[in-house]
Amino acid sequence: MIKNICCIGAGYVGGPTMAIIAQKCPHLNVTVVDVDEARIAEWNNVNLAAIPIYEPGLVTVVGEARNRNLFFSTKVDEAIDEADMIFISVNTPTKTYGLGKGMTADLKYVELCARQIAKVAKTDKIIVEKSTLPVRTASTIKSIMENSGNGVKFQILSNPEFLAEGTAVNDLLYPDRVLIGGGTDEDGRRAIQELVAIYSNWVPIEKILTTNIWSSELSKLVANAFLAQRVSSINSISELCEKTGADITEVAMAIGLDSRIGSKFLKASVGFGGSCFQKDILNLVYIAKSYGLDEVATYWEQVILMNDHQKRRFGQKIVKTLYNTVSGKKIAFLGWAFKKDTNDTRESSAIFVADALLAEQGKVVVYDPKVNENQIYTDLNYLGTRAEMANQNGLTVLQDPYDVCREAHAVAILTEWDEFKHYDWERIYHHMYKPAFIFDGRNILNKKELENIGFVYYSIGS
Ligand code: NAD
Ligand code: UGA
């Protein structure tokens, strides 16, 4: 029977996932560990509003379980030692060096975890891959474990996470499915059942799917690839709509009502962002290539190329519309996060559009309800396009959306935050240069109302 759980990695997945397990399983002790001391201190902050991840509803869950049976700690060895089950939930970014650079997942953090578990463990453990990993990673972990030399038995399970940011709590409470892959022998089946028993505290049993370990690992990459493919598909058609007079919202509605296609994930946008879609598709492409499946690789690569195109053409549309130059012009950015209801900015389209406009000597002024100034500069500096000082001079972050839009030549909507819909657009219009342009990269504003005020309004795909 599992009593103590440890999760290595207190990030966007480890934190919320373990908080829900702790909330729903008061009989288990859950310890989330991380090497990042500042992050752990934030998770432990008495002021719940200061926890490091903004997710609707998360504060309540953490408030209920923290220091009852949910603990955040930097004592990694101690937590591993005490745990019967260890989730690995560390980051698996795209490799930035050496073999597979720019394509495959960098598994150094996962390998470090495996080595640390192998070194510390004195009792049998079930190791759960929660991070998204290339198919067959379990064999790497297994090989490290089998050579630990301390006679402890390990079972390895794959239990990929399907939560989306901004809706993490709801997704964890009511998942479409929980996927658990494991060994097919008796020990493997027993380990799978231990994890099934945990989820069945709140997930209906028919939603808990068990498979072999390779199917589970691969399914996670494929799920993200299919989701991203839908966004690239609708975005590709958005460009065609702009040329033909068709309207992407109407087209999405018309095709989405076909139950075989379905209506979700058909929102045309300035391009998908987030830490995973691009990383996971690149990974899939690399895996396909490594097996010599060039056609498969090329097919999926196109999803990324279309997304790059969509981000690029949004920036170009602004420049072209503003009479082919934005030099010295103020462009107000509403939104920086990669989607609403999160403070996560990884791979956000806003970063790339801002970079393109700065390259055209535009002055970018940003407001985002949840992203702080420091993060915005970090994102831009990370691209390495120009000196940090040049980014500082070209881009300003303000706390008030009306100040951001004051004396702007154009407003660009980069994130679909609900509050943008309820602004006093008349007030904004009166304080902008004329003609006052809006580039709605999320199709959230009302075209008619804005045109009545006097704006020149551009959306995606119409
Ligand atoms: P994250 O960067 O927010 O968190 C990872 C944490 O792991 C960091 O705090 C880091 O300090 C810590 N860490 C790294 N190496 C460590 C080590 N050796 N010991 C202790 N701590 C260590 O990442 P994330 O967004 O939570 O993603 C984690 C994994 O989950 C990735 O594989 C990702 O693809 C996958 N995933 C993410 C999401 C999402 O919405 N973010 C959803 C599903 C799956
Ligand atoms: C995505 C998946 O939805 C999750 O199932 C998965 O667990 C997660 O990746 C992961 O593995 O990290 P996430 O990236 O958090 O979740 O958010 P999504 O809602 O999928 O949005 C991703 C991007 O696509 C955002 O930039 C969003 O604005 C964009 N998008 C989404 C669109 O442009 N149009 C849409 O119709 C849907």
On whether residue 87 sits in a domain, the answer given is yes
Nearest to 437 by CA among 311, 271, 313, 317: 317
CATH of the domain at 183: 3.40.50.720
For helices 108-120 and 137-146, what crossing angle results, to 10°? Answer: 30
Give the residue, out of 162, 276, 444, with the most ligand 2 atoms within 8 A of its beta carbon, to mutate for a pocket test: 276
Residue nearest to atom 13 of ligand 2 (CA): 164
Q: Is 248 a pocket residue for ligand 2 (Cβ < 6 Å)?
A: no
405 Cα: distance to centroid of ligand 1 (angstroms):
36
Residue 198 sits in which domain range? 4-203
Helix (H, G, I), strand (E, B) or coil at 114: helix
On whether residue 10 sits in a domain, the answer given is yes
On whether residue 45 sits in a domain, the answer given is yes
Residue nearest to atom 37 of ligand 2 (CA): 265
pLDDT at 151: 85
Distance of CA 253 to the CA centre of its chain: 26
Long-range contacts of 311-315 (CB under 8 A, 24+ apart): 311/270, 311/271, 311/349, 311/352, 311/353, 312/352, 312/356, 313/239, 314/270, 314/271, 314/349, 314/353, 314/412, 314/439, 314/441, 314/460, 315/352, 315/353, 315/356, 315/357
According to the annotation, is 50 in a ligand binding site? no
Instruction: Provide the number of structural domains found in the chain.
Output: 1
Task: Name the residue type at position 194.
Answer: E
Q: Is 273 a pocket residue for ligand 2 (Cβ < 6 Å)?
A: yes
Query: How many C-alpha atoms does 393 have within 13 Å on its Cβ side?
Result: 8
Give the residue, out of 8, 32, 34, 119, with the most ligand 1 atoms within 8 A of its beta carbon, to mutate for a pocket test: 34
Query: CA of 295: how far to CAs of 4, 258, 300, 427, in Å?
Result: 46, 29, 9, 53
On whether residue 322 sits in a domain, the answer given is no
On whether residue 309 sits in a domain, the answer given is no
Residue nearest to atom 38 of ligand 1 (CA): 13
Q: Is 279 a pocket residue for ligand 2 (Cβ < 6 Å)?
A: no
Please report which ligand is nearest the Cα atom of 414: 2
On whether residue 224 sits in a domain, the answer given is no
On whether residue 214 sits in a domain, the answer given is no
Instruction: Report ipTM (2 d.p.).
Output: 0.99
Sign of CA dihedral 47, 51, 56, 62: negative
On whether residue 53 sits in a domain, the answer given is yes
Active-site residue flag, 276: yes
pLDDT at 446: 97
- Where the chain has pLDDT below 70, the residues are none
